[in-house]
Amino acid sequence: TQRTSRYPELDVESFLHSRSQLHIVAPSRHQNIMTPLVVGLIEEVVHRTYQDFHKGARLMLALDELANVAPLPTLPSIISEGGGQGVITMACLQDLSQARARWGVSGESFLSLFPTSLVLPGIADRPTLELLSALGGRNERSQISHSLGRRGRITGGVRTEREQMRLTPSDVAHGRNGMALGLGPTKEMEWIRLTPYFRDQRFARYLDRSSERGRSR
Protein backbone atom coordinates (compact mmCIF):
# COMPACT_ATOMS: atom_id res chain seq x y z
CA THR A 1 0.00 0.00 0.00
CA GLN A 2 2.80 2.40 0.86
CA ARG A 3 4.57 1.69 -2.43
CA THR A 4 1.35 2.29 -4.36
CA SER A 5 0.76 5.65 -2.65
CA ARG A 6 4.06 6.95 -3.99
CA TYR A 7 2.66 7.15 -7.52
CA PRO A 8 1.07 10.48 -8.54
CA GLU A 9 -2.70 10.78 -8.39
CA LEU A 10 -4.73 10.75 -11.58
CA ASP A 11 -5.39 14.29 -12.74
CA VAL A 12 -8.89 13.70 -14.10
CA GLU A 13 -9.27 17.15 -15.64
CA SER A 14 -6.01 16.89 -17.60
CA PHE A 15 -6.86 13.34 -18.61
CA LEU A 16 -10.25 14.33 -20.06
CA HIS A 17 -8.71 17.08 -22.17
CA SER A 18 -5.93 14.89 -23.56
CA ARG A 19 -5.73 11.95 -25.96
CA SER A 20 -4.56 9.64 -23.19
CA GLN A 21 -5.88 6.19 -22.34
CA LEU A 22 -6.39 4.65 -18.92
CA HIS A 23 -6.27 0.84 -18.86
CA ILE A 24 -7.66 -0.97 -15.81
CA VAL A 25 -6.87 -4.68 -15.51
CA ALA A 26 -8.49 -6.78 -12.78
CA PRO A 27 -7.34 -10.42 -12.52
CA SER A 28 -10.20 -12.79 -11.68
CA ARG A 29 -8.68 -13.73 -8.32
CA HIS A 30 -8.74 -10.07 -7.23
CA GLN A 31 -12.08 -8.98 -8.70
CA ASN A 32 -14.01 -9.08 -5.42
CA ILE A 33 -11.51 -6.68 -3.88
CA MET A 34 -10.92 -4.44 -6.89
CA THR A 35 -14.47 -4.10 -8.25
CA PRO A 36 -15.57 -1.34 -5.81
CA LEU A 37 -12.39 0.61 -6.59
CA VAL A 38 -12.87 0.22 -10.34
CA VAL A 39 -16.52 1.27 -10.15
CA GLY A 40 -15.70 4.28 -7.97
CA LEU A 41 -12.94 5.44 -10.32
CA ILE A 42 -15.07 5.11 -13.46
CA GLU A 43 -18.05 6.90 -11.92
CA GLU A 44 -15.79 9.75 -10.76
CA VAL A 45 -14.35 10.18 -14.26
CA VAL A 46 -17.84 10.03 -15.81
CA HIS A 47 -19.18 12.62 -13.36
CA ARG A 48 -16.26 14.95 -14.09
CA THR A 49 -16.89 14.56 -17.83
CA TYR A 50 -20.49 15.67 -17.32
CA GLN A 51 -19.28 18.71 -15.37
CA ASP A 52 -16.66 19.73 -17.94
CA PHE A 53 -18.59 18.79 -21.07
CA HIS A 54 -19.06 22.45 -21.99
CA LYS A 55 -15.26 22.86 -21.75
CA GLY A 56 -14.66 20.11 -24.29
CA ALA A 57 -14.26 17.10 -21.99
CA ARG A 58 -14.94 13.81 -23.80
CA LEU A 59 -14.76 10.20 -22.62
CA MET A 60 -15.13 6.77 -24.19
CA LEU A 61 -15.75 3.84 -21.87
CA ALA A 62 -14.61 0.52 -23.38
CA LEU A 63 -15.84 -2.00 -20.81
CA ASP A 64 -14.97 -5.67 -21.29
CA GLU A 65 -16.26 -8.32 -18.85
CA LEU A 66 -18.68 -5.62 -17.82
CA ALA A 67 -20.78 -7.62 -15.35
CA ASN A 68 -17.75 -8.85 -13.39
CA VAL A 69 -15.12 -6.12 -13.49
CA ALA A 70 -17.15 -2.90 -13.81
CA PRO A 71 -20.78 -3.49 -12.72
CA LEU A 72 -21.64 0.22 -12.59
CA PRO A 73 -24.95 0.74 -10.74
CA THR A 74 -25.67 3.82 -12.87
CA LEU A 75 -24.77 2.16 -16.18
CA PRO A 76 -28.30 2.31 -17.69
CA SER A 77 -28.43 6.08 -17.18
CA ILE A 78 -24.86 6.50 -18.48
CA ILE A 79 -25.84 4.67 -21.68
CA SER A 80 -29.07 6.60 -22.22
CA GLU A 81 -27.92 10.07 -21.14
CA GLY A 82 -24.14 10.03 -21.47
CA GLY A 83 -24.04 10.52 -25.23
CA GLY A 84 -25.40 14.05 -24.88
CA GLN A 85 -22.89 14.88 -22.15
CA GLY A 86 -19.66 13.66 -23.72
CA VAL A 87 -19.60 10.00 -22.63
CA ILE A 88 -19.77 7.18 -25.20
CA THR A 89 -20.04 3.63 -23.84
CA MET A 90 -18.93 0.41 -25.51
CA ALA A 91 -19.71 -2.63 -23.37
CA CYS A 92 -19.14 -6.38 -23.80
CA LEU A 93 -21.33 -9.09 -22.25
CA GLN A 94 -21.41 -12.86 -22.67
CA ASP A 95 -25.20 -12.65 -23.07
CA LEU A 96 -28.15 -10.76 -21.58
CA SER A 97 -28.39 -13.14 -18.59
CA GLN A 98 -25.41 -11.28 -17.10
CA ALA A 99 -27.23 -7.97 -17.54
CA ARG A 100 -30.41 -9.35 -15.95
CA ALA A 101 -28.47 -10.67 -12.96
CA ARG A 102 -26.67 -7.35 -12.35
CA TRP A 103 -29.19 -4.69 -13.38
CA GLY A 104 -32.56 -6.46 -13.21
CA VAL A 105 -35.29 -4.96 -15.41
CA SER A 106 -32.92 -2.27 -16.69
CA GLY A 107 -30.53 -4.98 -17.86
CA GLU A 108 -33.26 -6.55 -19.97
CA SER A 109 -33.52 -3.29 -21.93
CA PHE A 110 -29.84 -3.06 -22.87
CA LEU A 111 -30.60 -3.84 -26.52
CA SER A 112 -32.89 -0.80 -26.52
CA LEU A 113 -30.52 1.47 -24.60
CA PHE A 114 -27.52 0.82 -26.82
CA PRO A 115 -28.11 2.40 -30.26
CA THR A 116 -25.87 -0.19 -31.92
CA SER A 117 -25.20 -3.81 -30.97
CA LEU A 118 -23.02 -6.55 -32.42
CA VAL A 119 -23.91 -10.18 -31.74
CA LEU A 120 -21.26 -12.88 -32.08
CA PRO A 121 -21.87 -16.65 -32.28
CA GLY A 122 -21.74 -18.85 -29.19
CA ILE A 123 -24.65 -17.55 -27.10
CA ALA A 124 -26.38 -20.31 -25.11
CA ASP A 125 -28.84 -18.23 -23.04
CA ARG A 126 -32.30 -19.13 -24.31
CA PRO A 127 -34.10 -15.82 -23.51
CA THR A 128 -31.35 -13.89 -25.31
CA LEU A 129 -31.59 -16.13 -28.38
CA GLU A 130 -35.40 -15.91 -28.48
CA LEU A 131 -35.33 -12.12 -28.13
CA LEU A 132 -32.87 -11.73 -30.99
CA SER A 133 -34.84 -14.18 -33.11
CA ALA A 134 -38.02 -12.15 -32.51
CA LEU A 135 -36.23 -8.93 -33.50
CA GLY A 136 -35.31 -10.59 -36.78
CA GLY A 137 -38.99 -10.56 -37.73
CA ARG A 138 -40.89 -12.92 -39.99
CA ASN A 139 -41.38 -13.32 -43.71
CA GLU A 140 -43.77 -15.21 -45.98
CA ARG A 141 -42.75 -18.23 -47.96
CA SER A 142 -44.77 -19.57 -50.86
CA GLN A 143 -45.53 -23.28 -50.96
CA ILE A 144 -47.21 -25.01 -53.91
CA SER A 145 -49.02 -28.33 -53.51
CA HIS A 146 -49.86 -30.34 -56.65
CA SER A 147 -52.69 -32.81 -57.21
CA LEU A 148 -52.02 -35.92 -59.29
CA GLY A 149 -54.56 -37.74 -61.46
CA ARG A 150 -54.91 -41.50 -61.89
CA ARG A 151 -52.15 -41.65 -64.49
CA GLY A 152 -49.75 -39.60 -62.38
CA ARG A 153 -50.37 -36.40 -64.26
CA ILE A 154 -50.68 -33.07 -62.49
CA THR A 155 -54.32 -32.07 -62.51
CA GLY A 156 -54.19 -29.00 -60.30
CA GLY A 157 -52.30 -27.12 -57.66
CA VAL A 158 -52.76 -24.97 -54.60
CA ARG A 159 -50.45 -22.14 -53.59
CA THR A 160 -50.28 -21.18 -49.92
CA GLU A 161 -48.35 -18.48 -48.08
CA ARG A 162 -46.64 -19.55 -44.89
CA GLU A 163 -45.05 -17.28 -42.29
CA GLN A 164 -41.67 -18.22 -40.87
CA MET A 165 -38.97 -16.60 -38.75
CA ARG A 166 -36.18 -14.88 -40.64
CA LEU A 167 -33.72 -16.03 -37.98
CA THR A 168 -34.31 -18.98 -35.68
CA PRO A 169 -32.67 -19.10 -32.23
CA SER A 170 -30.35 -21.71 -33.70
CA ASP A 171 -29.33 -19.32 -36.50
CA VAL A 172 -28.40 -16.70 -33.91
CA ALA A 173 -26.50 -19.16 -31.70
CA HIS A 174 -24.42 -20.65 -34.50
CA GLY A 175 -24.02 -17.50 -36.61
CA ARG A 176 -22.17 -17.47 -39.90
CA ASN A 177 -18.48 -18.04 -40.44
CA GLY A 178 -16.55 -14.77 -40.22
CA MET A 179 -19.69 -12.70 -39.64
CA ALA A 180 -21.71 -11.13 -36.84
CA LEU A 181 -25.28 -9.90 -36.48
CA GLY A 182 -25.56 -6.13 -36.35
CA LEU A 183 -28.45 -4.13 -34.85
CA GLY A 184 -28.74 -0.45 -35.67
CA PRO A 185 -30.87 2.28 -34.04
CA THR A 186 -34.06 0.92 -35.65
CA LYS A 187 -33.15 -2.63 -34.50
CA GLU A 188 -33.18 -4.00 -38.01
CA MET A 189 -30.75 -6.92 -38.19
CA GLU A 190 -28.17 -7.62 -40.86
CA TRP A 191 -25.13 -9.85 -41.25
CA ILE A 192 -21.84 -7.94 -41.06
CA ARG A 193 -18.54 -9.38 -42.25
CA LEU A 194 -15.79 -9.15 -39.65
CA THR A 195 -12.28 -8.07 -40.59
CA PRO A 196 -9.38 -9.53 -38.54
CA TYR A 197 -7.20 -6.76 -37.16
CA PHE A 198 -4.14 -7.96 -39.07
CA ARG A 199 -6.00 -7.49 -42.37
CA ASP A 200 -6.96 -3.89 -41.63
CA GLN A 201 -4.39 -1.50 -43.11
CA ARG A 202 -4.84 1.02 -40.30
CA PHE A 203 -3.95 -1.53 -37.61
CA ALA A 204 -1.18 -3.00 -39.76
CA ARG A 205 0.47 0.44 -40.07
CA TYR A 206 0.11 1.02 -36.33
CA LEU A 207 1.64 -2.36 -35.49
CA ASP A 208 4.51 -1.73 -37.92
CA ARG A 209 5.28 1.61 -36.26
CA SER A 210 5.10 0.02 -32.81
CA SER A 211 7.51 -2.76 -33.75
CA GLU A 212 9.93 -0.23 -35.29
CA ARG A 213 9.91 1.82 -32.10
CA GLY A 214 10.56 -1.34 -30.10
CA ARG A 215 13.58 -2.26 -32.22
CA SER A 216 15.05 1.24 -32.02
CA ARG A 217 15.15 1.21 -28.23
> Distance of CA 151 to CAs 44, 147, 148, 155, 158, Å?
83, 11, 8, 10, 19
Does residue 20 fall inside a structural domain? yes
Handedness of CA 67, 68, 71, 75 (dihedral sign): negative
By residue range, what is the domain housing residue 23? 1-114
Phi–psi pair at 159, nearest 5 degrees = -105, 125
Does residue 135 fall inside a structural domain? no
The rounded Cα 78 to chain-centroid distance in angstroms is: 15
The CATH number of residue 79's host domain is: 3.40.50.300
Does residue 205 fall inside a structural domain? no
Q: How many domains does the chain have?
A: 1
Does residue 176 fall inside a structural domain? no
Mean pLDDT of the chain: 86
Which tens digit of pLDDT belongs to each residue from 71-116?
899 999 999 999 999 999 999 999 999 999 999 988 888 999 999 9
Percent of the chain with pLDDT over 70: 85
Q: Which residues face 63 on adjacent strands?
A: 91
Strands 154-165 and 87-91: unpaired
Which tens digit of pLDDT belongs to each residue from 35-64?
888 899 999 999 999 999 999 999 999 999
